């Protein structure tokens, strides 16, 4: 006859501890794996905008970034961005240059497209629309969330690439053409893939879509 052996109290405690440890591990794995878990994605339909004609929605891996464009500050720069947004040119374009909590750059239409990414040339590509003149004379405070047009070392070389700053950058005033400011979604931008050792990103995140709130020509 086989006698049933009852588990001692300490054995029961160890079993419970192991089960809890397993649950916590699985939970943590899910939380850590999903970097977007606690990032709020804003739905533009639920927001009232002062200037809806100048609102653009950039959809990144963790959600929407809602940007107000400032045509009164940089008419040509904003016109260029709107033209490219309306032609869906920014879709599947890489966030190719990212510095954690500081700076994000995207918009290389030539060498930054998903599937045909060229790591050797990314950041040097053109849109095919030509360059535009820098618009840096109007006062503009480059505070956190400001959006500007990227350029080469020389002025008047702005094209399709843009950047968004994640911290105040007063030295950017008068240096780069400002085109707008992030109204909602800075947390989404902070989750864009970055590397600790290099600002140019291997296997970068991509823009899912970039659209105007009101899609009129």
Partner 1 sequence: MNILRAILLLIFFITPIKANTIYNIIKIPKLEIYQINTKNKLKYFYATAPFRLGTQKNIVCSNPNKKDLEIKYKTIYKNLSRYSYNYLKKINLKYIVMCENLSISGLYTAGIPDNIMKTLILDIKFNENYFERVIHHEVFHIMYLQHKEIFNNEEWIKFNNPKFKYAECSTCTNDIGLEKYENTKGFFTEYSKSTAPEDMAEVYSHMIHLKKYEINLIRKIDPILNSKISYIEDKIKQIDNSFIF
* Site residues, partner 1 (CB under 8 A): 99, 102-103, 137, 153-154, 169-172, 174-175, 195-199
Smallest distance, partner 1 to C-beta of residue 99, A: 4
Smaller CB separation from partner 1, 102 or 114: 102
Contact 188, 41 (CB under 8 A): yes
Nearest Cα neighbor of 58 from 44, 40, 45, 38 is 44
Smaller CB separation from partner 1, 132 or 201: 201
Smallest distance, partner 1 to C-beta of residue 136, A: 9
* Cα–Cα distance for residue pair 3/209, rounded to 1 Å: 68
Smaller CB separation from partner 1, 90 or 103: 103
Smallest distance, partner 1 to C-beta of residue 52, A: 33
Smaller CB separation from partner 1, 88 or 152: 152
Smaller CB separation from partner 1, 68 or 135: 135
Smallest distance, partner 1 to C-beta of residue 42, A: 27
Smallest distance, partner 1 to C-beta of residue 93, A: 22
């Amino acid at each position: 006859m086989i006698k049933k052996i009852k588990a001692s109290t300490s054995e029961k405690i160890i079993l419970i501890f192991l089960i809890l440890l397993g649950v916590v591990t699985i939970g943590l794995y899910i939380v850590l794996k999903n970097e977007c878990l606690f990032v709020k994605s804003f739905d533009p339909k639920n927001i009232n905008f002062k200037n809806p004609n100048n609102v653009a929605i950039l959809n990144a891996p963790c959600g929407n970034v809602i940007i107000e464009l400032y045509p009164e500050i940089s008419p040509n720069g904003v016109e260029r961005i709107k033209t490219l947004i309306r032609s869906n040119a920014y879709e599947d374009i890489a966030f190719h240059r990212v510095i954690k909590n500081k700076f994000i750059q995207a918009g290389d239409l030539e060498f930054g497209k998903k599937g045909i990414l060229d790591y050797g040339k990314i950041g040097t590509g053109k849109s095919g629309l030509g360059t535009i003149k820098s618009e840096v004379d109007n006062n503009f405070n480059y505070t956190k969330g400001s959006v500007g047009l990227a350029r080469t070392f020389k002025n008047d070389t702005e094209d399709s690439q843009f950047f968004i700053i994640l911290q105040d950058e007063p030295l950017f005033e008068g240096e780069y053409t400002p085109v707008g400011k992030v109204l909602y979604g800075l947390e989404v931008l902070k989750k864009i893939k970055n590397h600790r050792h290099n600002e140019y990103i291997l296997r970068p995140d991509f823009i899912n879509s970039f659209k105007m709130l009101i899609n009129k020509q």
